[in-house]
Structure 1
């Protein structure tokens, strides 16, 4: 008996997606509710699960194809009858791949081949760049698939052991030049459009300050073990900055507001979008009601989103809304940046790396762990005085965390 696999509901106002990866190939057995394909929408990746157990007999769309909700993209043969399905069944029999589609196969599941030909484009480029044999990498992605982060970690381990990490391309003749064309994912296209739109439609300006991290680092080092033991999550810096941001947004409501048409919408709640890195690009899931959350609640929410982003399991609901954004470029070593707001929000806080620098305290030059922080804002709604005051409030709360306890 044949069962059709259809594109599921993708979320409010989302009617189409792109085939990002086929996780199962024709002839392979599938279990009930096992992911067989990954779809890319404007915001997140969504997996298509098998409605029945059996054997995947046909793929009716190719990687890169645009499909609509309820469209049939595959056929599964149920039960023993499906076991006779030919393993060599040609994919995309009913829907030939577009000329511009990148010739990329699905990423391997646990136990499958890790030949570069079946890795995702980002992983394949990383493998070539770092000169790592994918067969030696243990995938941490869903179903054991190799992610770009796995390749980078393997390269770092190899470098630490003293082994050379020369990419295979280096051995090519000196006069040989190569190019690879990979179609932009739907998510990357959306990111590009939104960032460009923010530059064109908002009056962007950035104000800077620096923060002495001594007090927060001391508090974190003092309580991190007991905090993790009690709450089951590590105490990081993001919860401190989220709490400090709440103080600033409550004091300066314009920084937490949005322009809608010819009106300004002020919020009496704080939903913070936290920028996290996902395999397909930067995403900003929303931690809701941060003003009512504890440090542990904030850390747990951020940790959960980070895990879901790595697995590619963020939902549309996770990404919807947000009144303010925090982006931490410091985890990648960034010293200073001018972050771009996340429309329709009006401001974004950029965090950067911590480094020891000489500063003057009480007339003496001393060494302190310092961080540059930046607040980019829409000058149409936020005045310079308000932006500077908000950033100064965040700075003061971080330098004296007691303010976070007494709401000062």
Structure 2
């Protein structure tokens, strides 16, 4: 019996996944574990592997089309095998509209993305989007295989159209800039997903950033002592981020509103802390997740974050390791940045931006002393909580950082 390959659920808030690329065609032989397609959600991209040995019998979802999780995207079985399924194959329906005559299996993947009588290759979802935006599909450049127009191509065309309208409004006030000698780089892969996701985050939430500074002089002393002790046992040294992670987890347990998600106009409060640690790659930003961080010691948090970062840089993170976070930390201290405004990782309520530690003179009573200061930037969703409770969370975090011994008690 043919095996159904379905669209996986890549996150608790995922409502739709898109087939970015098919690596195989109908009739191609595949082996178990072999990559057959690439899919994407608003959060990540991942490869879909074949669950069994066999032949691609049907491709039910064409490239560029989005479908809900659990939808069958293709069938794998023995060559010539009849497919038995209760699900109405979306691709067959599209083909029947083109021609009532039965088609060979090898023809399905091509015909399904070409509308009746058209010369333009375009997926059904992309065509609907273009029609709604009143765009001429013949003027849209397709980036899919064979010049096929995908959903992302239409989204980019809509964005460009709106940008041109805005430029026309102010064209009389601002001098035009020539782009003849500019090098153009097309958005693709994870960069395109990040661009769309960040724009959606800003458009679909009420984000506010507040800032505070913590005196981490005593924390740095403790971190140095702990690192020296761990290196004697051939363990990796603790970093400031490790202590920050522990402080954030403890603070989130005291302020559940910050450890929450805004989904379908409801606030979901979580007892468990699944901590996302942003990792910068050459291709973009990924956020691997330390699950049940509330059960981890500082040492365990350190080992988990370092291992996830190594796997991220090697491109070996699974989709499960990049979903389900309830709060995120983004550290730009290594780049010398002090304060910045991190963008929320939907549907999370909060994200903590960490800057570079700097030394400055500070009055302690009547004495002026040199102290180490850590800048903190907290972005939160104003739909979930107001400035006062968000500030209270930041004050609790500051207290843990300035009294590091309390993190160990």
TM-score bucket of the superposed structures, by smaller chain: 0.5 to 0.7
1:46 aligned onto 2:88 = no
Query: Equivalent residue for 2:183?
Result: 179
Give the conservation status (yes or no) of the 8 Å contact 1:215–1:400.
yes
Give distance in 1, aligned partners of 2:203 and 2:45: 27
* Counterpart position of 2:250: 247
Q: What is the match of residue 213 of structure 1?
A: 216
- Output the TM-score relative to the length of structure 1: 0.61
Q: Is the 8 A contact 2:44 2:193 kept in 1?
A: no
Contact kept, 8 Å, 1:8 with 1:48, in 2: the verdict is: no
TM-score, length-scaled by structure 2: 0.61
Q: Does the aligned pair in 2 maintain the 1:333–1:352 contact within 8 Å? A: yes
Partner of 2:406: 403
The answer to whether residue 143 in structure 2 is matched with residue 101 in structure 1 is: yes
Number of residue-to-residue matches in the alignment: 317
The equivalent of 2:267 in structure 1 is 264
Equivalent-residue separation in structure 1 for 2:266 and 2:65 (angstroms): 37
| Gapped regions of structure 1 (runs ≥ 5) | 1-5, 23-30, 54-63, 73-93, 104-175
CA distance in 2 between partners of 1:243 and 1:41 (Å): 30
Root-mean-square deviation (CA, aligned residues, Å) is: 4.6
Partner of 2:382: 379
CA contact (8 A) 1:102 1:182 kept: no
> Bigger CA drift: 291-300 or 355-364?
355-364
Deviation of residue 193 (structure 1)? 3.0
CA, structure 1 residues 46+264, in 2 after alignment: closer, same or farther (shift >3 Å)? closer
Cα distance change on mapping 1:247 and 1:257 into 2, 3 Å: same
Give the aligned partner of residue 108 of structure 1: none
1:342 has 2:384 as partner: no
Task: Output aligned runs, 1:361-376, within 5 Å.
Answer: 361-376=364-379
For 2:137, the equivalent position in structure 1 comes to none
State the alpha-carbon separation in 2 of the partners of residues 200 and 279 from structure 1. Answer: 26
Alignment of 1:271-282 (within 5 A): 271-282=274-285
Question: How far did residue 258 of structure 1 move?
Answer: 2.7
Aligned to 1:322: 325
Does the 8 Å CA contact 2:5/2:51 hold for their aligned counterparts? no
Gaps of 5+ in 2: 24-30, 54-62, 75-108, 114-120, 123-140, 146-179
1:161 is aligned to none
Alignment partner, residue 190 of structure 1: 193
1:227, 1:234 within 8 Å by CA — same for their partners in 2? yes
Shift of residue 397 of structure 1? 0.9
Report if aligned partners of 2:19, 2:37 keep a CA contact under 8 Å in 1.
no
CA–CA separation in structure 1 for the residues paired with 2:384 and 2:44: 30
Residues 253 and 267 in structure 1, CA contact (< 8 A), matched pair in contact too: yes
